[in-house]
Amino acid sequence: MQPNSRKTLVLATLIPIVMFGFGFALVPLYDVFCRVTGLNGKVNTSPLTEAEQRNRNNQQETMSRGVRVQFVTMNNGDMPWEFAPLEHDAVKVQTGEDFTAMFRVTNTTDRFMQGRAVPSVSPSEAAQYFHKVQCFCFDQQDLEAGESLDMPVVFEVDKELPDHIRTITLAYTLFDVTQVANNN
Amino acid sequence: MDAASDIAHEAQHHHGPASGLSRWVFTTNHKDIGTLYMWFSFLMFLTGGSMALVIRAELFQPGLQLVDPGFFNQMTTMHGLIMVFGAVMPAFVGLANWLIPMMVGAPDMALPRMNNLSFWILPFAFTMLLMTLFMDGGAPNFGWTFYAPLSTQYAPPTVNYFIFGVHLMGISSIMGAINVIATIFNMRAPGMTLMKMPLFVWTWLITAFLLLAAMPVLACVVTMMLFDINFGTSFFNAAGGGDPVLFQHLFWFFGHPEVYIMILPAFGIVSQIIPTFSRKPLFGYASMVYATASIALLSFIVWAHHMFTVGMPLAGELFFMYATMLIAVPTGVKVFNWISTMFRGSLTFETPMLFAIAFIVLFTIGGFSGLMLAISPADFQYHDTYFVVAHFHYVLVPGAVFAIIAAVYYWLPKWCGRMYDERLGKIHFWWSFIGLNLTFFPMHFIGLAGMPRRIPDYALQFADFNMLASIGGFVFGFAQVFFLFIVIRCITSGEKAAANPWEGAEGLEWTLPSPAPYHSFGTPPKID
Amino acid sequence: MDTSVCRWLNAPLSRLLQAALVLSLLPQDAAAEIPLNMPVGVTDISRSVYDLHMTIFWICVAIAVVVFGVMFWSIIHHRKSKGAKAAHFHENTVVEIIWTLIPMAILIAMAIPATATLVKMYDTSDAEVDIQVTGYQWKWHYKYLDQDVEFFSNLSTPREQIENTAEKSEHYLLEVDNALVIPTGKKVRFLITSNDVIHSWWVPHLAVKKDAIPGFINESWAIVNEPGVYRGQCAELCGKDHGFMPIVVDARSPEDYQQWLLAKQEEKEQQAQQAAAATARTWTHEELMAEGEKVYARACAACHQPSGAGMPPVFPSLIKSPITTGDINAHIDIVVRGKPGTAMQAFGNQLTPAEVAAVVTYERNAWGNDTGDTVTPTDVQEHNAQ
């Protein structure tokens, strides 16, 4: 082939390779983009870092207000466990203050199972203001037959929460990961 | 030794193609490969069309009469996959192969052996895909857009063949695109600057870059699917921290440029045909080039308009609405330019011109429904209804497909040296025009009135228009069988064609004899 | 030939104008039978959406009339056969700029009301009723948060109508066993998610459509101005019966809604008592078979078919199958707990022990299976307690 064609071939092949890599890079980029622009989708999964904690404590000046936080639990697929908030389906919390909510899971079957709860916050705009200090999300819960477990979520709603948001819904979906865990 | 003199040398010693089946299996000649792509695409068009007729037959009346819902989903999925990847895209590659070298005064494509491989991957990939219809669990049934987790955790076992098939088609497209770019950049006859190239060549150059950028992302998506299904990863599985919506972002990041890949070459074809039959140069050549380039660039930032109901944050939703509305502007410019080409021209209405004019009108109607879909709050009522089905069939059928058909009628004399029968061509046109409008226009209404997509049965208020659409579908389908007859008749017994059968046609391909010699432009032509 | 070409080419334009005329005269509430246009709907948002739709539609019609008008003028007056000689112009920068800027201006004008409506649609604050909507393959589940009312909503069109052995009713494919009852005049918030694959909850008269995504929760809201029954469908391909999982919203006055809510809460009490009674009492084999046949038709026949033959391999046959003629406990288990990794769901949440007993008894004796087995509600309870 012509020498120029070879050069074009090499350059033109580079583009698809780069784009293939870009496609895979989009997976973590998706998360980074959401965090940086504040266009956070539905979940702010990481607990507060030290810096965020200090930043939080510096926001003493902003007025605190009451916000309603609703808890929704659901099971995915055929997950048979019982899963519900222990006390209330919805609570009134003060922004800037920690609140602890308890959830109970019960393995109602006659065999050992493993579950994992995945969180989702609505409205999505509120997710960046909803700080989970301690959460059982994404933790694998191992329960023997008939066993129950009470799990806490400690969260704080940021005082900077926009005024028009007065209710935040925290939803957990419980997945059966028994087989998956066994395969790994 | 460079390619040009290689081929000239060969031409002196080989006076024509090899004989027998091995000619077609081993050919590196751009005309042969173009022919292979065109026939393959026509076969796939009729196959995908038959699946459409199964769909329309079931939807002829409310109730389930012919197929069960699971098989219906296989039909809608396969119809989409085959039409997009088996009919429209290969047809455009076939046209690129036949025409680009001749139009730029080159003896062949830059990478002839890769060209052969690009083609032969396709029959293999599609045979495999079609065979899934007969495998356990049936063919893919999750729509040509294959959203996760329906296509991962809930997919039939044949999903792995689907993924393999998509990879193969992608590789074929990417290689074809590389070939087009290398040919256009390196093998133009001296004196043919970029801004002297025919617009078909420009639109294919831009399309080739779109292919290089978009197809690898599709490869990524199906690879991630493969991992989620077979290797326990959780790209799209919420249980493992993944996100089904990520699938949609990745898919449509490919998917939106893909639909422009399917229309830009059509714009190029129409831009060749309208000036010929108006006997007037294309209006605004430079702005046509810039408009095509802006459409291509903008196509990368509008993807989430396919996802308006997914629960995106408000800022995202607004951005994609604005960007999508913006892309209407360069598209409009092109339509105005074609019409200005016709205006105060000297018009005749041979078959290619009829298809090209119908393209302008009906593609624009499809464009209007696209603009309506861009309005995000309104889209909450249109999304996933037959209104969307109407929109994309208008831009694809009287859009892409009509352009391909127009190209066939227009350049067939150059390819085979014979004229098609003009009267039969006009009958094919009107038969197709009536059929397609009867099929797809009513879909606007039933979509607005509330009929969702991808359902095998529907509520009673949608019955009448569905019946009309089904009748139209069969009318349109049979028209294409008639087209096959016209093409075969032309090739076997059409009247001999002149080098330039179209008064008003300009371009290097018309300086060659009809049929074009097996090896042409061994010596580069003079460009003025 | 020329004039016929004329007429034909005018056809798309005249068809467009006719459709435009009809569309403008028929906001959907009026003409019941001819489905031509989007409904105006019964909320302020749905009205805004309809107005946006009609506005952009008319803008498109106006542009089409001008653009196609010019083209058809050319087709008629600039034909070679009429002696037209081609001009030579082929560019004009001023004109190009004008016809780039004018469409841009039109679009910017259009974007303003569209933005306003979208912003309103996103404001889910201060709702008075919260309902969790969960999509399942292939039905919807509604849970009234803070009210202790929840139920499944299944398509209630009989199979015979779908299979064309009975005449189709007025609301064919748009009717359910338990409609979603909401109050008019109050802000109702929908929290939408899915149990399995992506579905989409859509009610045209409310202009609400939101995807139901497994593991995630989406929000939407509506304030319904007029009492009435509003029907919608799932709007995202979700498998075999995507076309068979409709939505029915029954909007009632706040008083009627309160009454319904109370009745539902009492009904839950009653159902629990009835289920307990049904479980406690003694059933004859014939009673179990009769009840089982009904439960089967409602909950199993869609996949396993009325004949029991199923659609292998995805939906196995129950005729002389190892499950229906083998170990009774295994049979109960698969009905109650489902089979992970397959389409067989866990029906333990949807059927009372008496219903499970009845359907298992039916399956073990119908279609020639004839095991002679009788499965009682007590058997089922013992299984569940293991």
pLDDT at B430: 98
Residue numbers in B near C159 (CB within 8 A): none
**Is B260 one of the annotated active-site residues of the chain?**
yes
Cβ distance C145 to A74 less than 8 Å, yes or no, reads no
Q: Is B256 a catalytic residue?
A: yes
Residues on chain A touching C124 (C-beta within 8 angstroms): 122-123, 167
Q: What angle do CA A52, A55, A59 make, to 5 degrees?
A: 135
The 3 state secondary structure assigned to B349-393 is CCHHHHHHHHHHHHHHHHHHHHHHHHCHHHHHHHCCEHHHHHHHH
Burial tier of C88 (Cβ tally within 10 Å: 0-12, 13-18, 19+): exposed
Distance from CA of B204 to the nearest CA of C (A): 22
For the stretch C205-239, pLDDT in tens is 999 999 999 999 999 999 999 999 999 999 999 99
Which of the following is catalytic: B172, B207, B439, B470?
Answer: B172
Q: Between the CA of residue B224 and those of A23, A27, B239, B244, what are the distances in Å?
A: 10, 10, 16, 12
User: 3-class SS at A105?
Assistant: strand
- Look at residue B523 and tell me if it is in a domain: no
Residues of chain C positioned with their CB less than 8 A from the CB of B340 = 95
Q: What percent of chain C has pLDDT over 90?
A: 69
d(CA B229, CA A176): 16
Please tell me the distance from the alpha carbon of residue B318 to that of residue B314, in angstroms, as a whole number: 6
Could A123 and C219 be called an inter-chain contact, meaning their C-beta atoms sit closer than 8 Å?
yes
Query: Taking a C-beta distance cutoff of 8 angstroms, is the pair C159, C170 a contact?
Result: no
Residue range of the domain that includes B194: 31-511
Chains in contact with chain A (at least 3 beta-carbon pairs closer than 8 A): B, C
Chain C residues closer than 8 Å to A70 by CB: 130, 145
Q: Are B186 and B3 in contact (CB under 8 A)?
A: no
A171, closest residue in chain C (CA to CA)? C217
Q: Cβ distance A136 to A117 under 8 Å?
A: yes
- Over residues C230-249, the mean pLDDT reads 97
Question: Which one of B169, B209, B217 makes the best mutation probe of the A interface by having the most chain A beta carbons within 10 Å?
Answer: B217
Q: How far is B391 from chain C (nearest CA, A)?
A: 13
Domain count along chain B: 1
Q: Which residue in C has a C-alpha nearest to residue A166's C-alpha?
A: C125
B4 touches chain C (CB under 8 A): no
Q: How far apart are CA C232 and CA C204, in angstroms?
A: 6
Q: Determine whether the interchain pair A30/B174 forms a contact, defined as Cβ–Cβ distance below 8 Å.
A: no
- CATH at residue A159: 2.60.370.10
pLDDT of residue A182: 47
Question: Least CB-CB distance to C195: which of A43, A77, A123?
Answer: A77
Q: Could you tell me how many CB contacts below 8 A there are between chain A and chain B?
A: 106
Closest to C194 measured CA to CA, from C136, C130, C132, C131? C136
With an 8 Å Cβ cutoff, are B178 and A9 in contact?
A: yes
Q: Is residue B393 annotated as part of the catalytic site, yes or no?
A: no
Q: Report pLDDT for C278.
A: 79
Q: Is B13 assigned a catalytic role? A: no
Name the residue among A35, A40, A178 with its Cα closest to residue A116. A178
Residue C380 carries which side chain, given as an amino acid letter?
Answer: V
Model pTM? 0.89
Cα separation, C81 vs C79, in Å, equals 5
* B453 classed as catalytic: yes
Do A69 and A6 share a structural domain?
Answer: no
Q: Does residue A50 sit in the same domain as residue A31?
A: no
- Cα B144–Cα B145–Cα B149 angle in degrees, nearest 5: 115
Residue B357 lies in a domain: yes
Rounded Cα distance, B501 and B488, in Å: 19
Query: Within a domain: residue B481?
Result: yes
pLDDT value at residue A167: 92
The question of whether B410 is a catalytic residue gets the answer: no
Query: Could you tell me if A69 and A9 lie in one domain?
Result: no
- CB–CB of A75/A81 below 8 Å? yes
How far apart are the C-alpha atoms of B334 and C103, rounded to whole Å?
13
Of A78, A123, A167, the CB nearest to C346: A78
Cβ pair C125:A164 closer than 8 A: yes
Q: What is the pLDDT along chain A (184 residues), one digit of tens a residue?
A: 566 788 888 888 999 999 999 988 988 888 777 666 655 444 444 545 545 655 655 556 678 899 999 999 999 988 989 999 988 888 999 998 999 999 999 998 888 999 999 999 988 888 888 888 888 988 899 999 888 899 999 999 998 898 889 999 999 999 998 865 444 3
**Same domain as A115, residue A59:** yes
Same domain, A26 and A101: no
Chains touching chain C through at least 3 C-beta pairs below 8 angstroms are A, B
DSSP string, C141-196: EEEETTTTEEEEE-B-S-HHHHTTSSPPPTTTTS-BSS-EEEETTSEEEEEEEESS
Residue B23 annotated among the catalytic residues of the structure? no
The enclosing domain of B142 has a CATH number of 1.20.210.10
User: In CATH, what number does C129-266 get?
Assistant: 2.60.40.420
Whether residue A80 and residue C123 make contact (CB cut-off 8 A), yes or no, is no
Which of B37, B161, B260, B410 is labelled catalytic?
B260
Q: Where in chain C do CATH 1.10.287.90 domains reside?
A: 3-121
- Say if residue C9's pLDDT is above 80: no
Pairs of residues, one from chain A and one from chain C, whose beta carbons lie less than 8 Å apart: 74
Mean predicted confidence (pLDDT) in C243-256: 97
The mean pLDDT value of chain C amounts to 89
Active site residue B108: yes
For helices B351-374 and C44-77, the axis angle rounded to 10 degrees is: 160
> The domain C281-385 is classified under which CATH number: 2.30.30.100, 1.10.760.10, 3.40.50.1010, 3.20.20.70?
1.10.760.10
CA distance C263 to chain B (A): 31
Q: Do residues A81 and A105 both lie within one domain?
A: yes
pLDDT at residue A184, as a whole number: 39
Q: What residues contact A13, with CB distance under 8 A and at least 6 apart?
A: B178
Please tell me the total count of domains within chain A. Answer: 2
DSSP codes of every residue in B171-201:
HHHHHHHHHHHHHHHH-PPTT--GGGS-HHH
Residues A27 and A101 in one domain: no
ipTM for the predicted complex comes to 0.93
Give the lowest-confidence range in C8-22, C53-67, C138-152.
Answer: C8-22
pLDDT in tens, B500-524: 999 889 999 999 999 999 999 999 9
Residues of chain B with pLDDT under 70: 1-15
Which residues in chain B have Cβ-Cβ distances shorter than 8 Å to C53? Answer: 372, 375, 378, 381
Tokens linked to B256: 């939106």
Residues 105-164 of C with CB under 8 A from B: 107, 110-111, 114-115, 117-119, 121-122, 161-164
- The dotted CATH code for C3-121 is 1.10.287.90
- Catalytic residue flag (residue B428): no
- Structural domain range at position A18: 1-37
Residue A2 to residue B3, Cβ atoms within 8 A: yes
pLDDT band at C63 (very low <50, low <70, confident <90, very high): very high
pLDDT above 60 for C133: yes
| Domain co-membership, A63 together with A101 | yes
Note which residues in 106-165 of chain B have CB less than 8 A from chain C: 136-137, 141-143, 147, 149-150, 153-154, 156
CB contact under 8 A, A171 and C195: no
d(CA B252, CA B61): 33
Which among C8, C60, C164 has the least Cβ separation from residue B372?
Answer: C60
Q: What is the pLDDT of residue B4?
A: 53
